[in-house]
Amino acid sequence: MATETRDEPEAKDEGKGKNKSPSKRTSPALFVRQIIAELRKVIWPTRRELITYTTVSLVFVLVMVAIVSGVDYGLQKGIYELFG
């Protein structure tokens, strides 16, 4: 086979990372504890960073709205001149 080289046996897939029994479910309490544990790992932005990111996002959106509106207005005037 293509995966075998120089008489080395083919690597076995032992199913690491897979559930042992697909029917076993996590209890809601354990699920909530896992969520809280993951949220504690998150590096939350400071107030200053949050304000900066929000301002940059809003300015970007406003610039894109202006560009799309300008192109739309120009195309509209062009079509009216062509067919009007």
Amino acid 74: pLDDT: 97
Amino acid 24: pLDDT: 85
Amino acid 84: pLDDT: 76
What distance in Å separates the CA atoms of residue 55 and residue 61, rounded to the nearest whole number?
10
Task: Give 26-56 pLDDT, tens digit per residue.
Answer: 899 999 999 999 999 999 999 999 999 999 9
Confidence label for 12 from pLDDT (cuts 50, 70 and 90) = low
Of residues 25 and 54, which shows the higher confidence score? Answer: 54
Write down the domain spans for the chain.
Answer: 44-83
